[in-house]
């Protein structure tokens, strides 16, 4: 079942195609749906693709095809979408914002709320296995509310390959250590035993696709035996 925003976008794209012969721009779609950023449009389009309503012709600008429209569906009967800042497809980042060295009136510190210190594995970058990033002298304090069972660690994000998932350069992501993940989750992946990367994981038969969340970056596909999952993202922390 579609959400309200997914339905509105699908109807808008279909109408635009019939009227003009080409799909609307991301800016036009953003304005039509009254969203604050184009990243929300990227997420809605991805969701419509996964549900078989839209097809995107990659490497071509403004190339969307409507494959089908929902039957007998009224916008008033659809569920509301989550806030635009929430990210679909398996990860909605819990963002802790602010300067953690300061105490604000009426706001409890992480220590007051119950927190633990996690190891920081440094700045995630290609060319190094995750263990090589470990710096036992560097710790990060994380509220217990962000963590579940299992072993966790922090990573500083480098680059813009995941911006459409709300993960920006300089953010700290909290990773649940493990060697398995569900399709569509954002993971720390080790490629060929020497390159570590933060990407969305997709299994395609005997292959694994590591997908960026930025249209300027390309998806990389590997045989499954060349990719090892080293953890999946469970939270995000950001300083301003």
Of the residues 199, 207, 228, 239, only one is catalytic, namely 199
Active site residue 199: yes
Number of domains in the chain: 2
- Whether residue 82 is contained in a domain is answered as no
Higher pLDDT, 114 or 166: 166
Residues 9 and 66 in one domain: yes
From 16, 42, 77, the end of a domain falls on 77
Per DSSP, the three-state class of 117 is strand
Residues 153 and 51 in one domain: no
Residues 231 and 130 in one domain: yes
Say if residue 167 is exposed, middle or buried (CB neighbours under 10 Å; 0-12, 13-18, 19+): buried
- Whether residue 121 is contained in a domain is answered as yes
Q: How confident is the model at residue 71 (pLDDT cuts 50, 70, 90)?
A: low
Within 10 Å of residue 202's Cβ, how many Cβ atoms? 15
CA dist., res. 107 & res. 123, Å (int): 29
From 47, 77, 107, the end of a domain falls on 77
Report pLDDT digits (tens) over 122-179.
777 544 455 545 555 678 888 887 777 888 888 888 888 888 888 888 888 999 989 9
- Whether residue 109 is contained in a domain is answered as yes
Residues 124 and 73 in one domain: no
State the angle between helix axes of 38-50 and 4-20 in degrees (0 to 180), rounded to the nearest 10: 90
| C-alpha angle 137-138-142 in degrees, rounded to nearest 5 | 135
Residues 73 and 104 in one domain: no
Structural domain range at position 52: 4-77
Report pLDDT digits (tens) over 75-94.
444 445 555 444 444 454 54
Within 10 Å of residue 182's Cβ, how many Cβ atoms? 10
Residues 153 and 226 in one domain: yes
Per DSSP, the three-state class of 77 is helix
Q: Which residue has the tokens 């569920």?
A: 79
Of the residues 18, 161, 177, 207, only one is catalytic, namely 161
Residues 48 and 149 in one domain: no
- Whether residue 162 is contained in a domain is answered as yes
Active site residue 25: no
pLDDT at 115 over 50: yes
- Whether residue 46 is contained in a domain is answered as yes
The gap from C-alpha 18 to its chain's centroid, in whole angstroms, comes to 32
Report pLDDT digits (tens) over 38-70.
888 888 888 888 888 888 775 555 678 888 887
């Amino acid at each position: 079942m579609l959400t309200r925003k997914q339905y509105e976008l699908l109807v808008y794209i279909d109408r635009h195609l019939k009227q003009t012969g080409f799909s609307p721009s991301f800016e036009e779609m953003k304005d039509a749906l009254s969203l604050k950023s184009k990243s929300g449009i990227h997420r809605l389009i991805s969701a419509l693709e996964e549900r078989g309503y839209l097809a995107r012709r990659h490497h071509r600008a403004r190339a969307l095809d409507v494959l089908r429209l929902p039957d007998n569906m009224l916008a008033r009967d659809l569920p509301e979408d989550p806030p635009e800042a929430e990210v679909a497809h398996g990860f909605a980042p819990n963002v802790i914002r602010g300067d953690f060295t300061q105490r604000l009136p009426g706001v409890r510190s992480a220590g007051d709320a119950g927190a633990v210190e996690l190891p920081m594995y440094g700045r995630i970058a290609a060319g190094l296995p995750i263990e090589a990033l470990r710096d036992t002298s560097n710790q990060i304090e994380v509220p217990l509310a962000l963590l579940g069972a299992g072993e966790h660690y922090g990573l500083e994000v480098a680059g813009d390959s995941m911006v459409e998932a709300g993960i920006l350069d300089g953010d700290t992501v909290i990773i649940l250590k493990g060697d398995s993940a569900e399709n569509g989750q954002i993971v720390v992946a080790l490629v060929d035993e020497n390159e570590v990367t933060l990407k969305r994981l997709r299994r395609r038969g005997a292959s694994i696709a590591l997908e960026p969340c930025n249209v300027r970056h390309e998806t990389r596909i590997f045989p499954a035996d060349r990719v090892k999952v080293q953890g999946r993202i469970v939270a995000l922390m950001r300083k301003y």
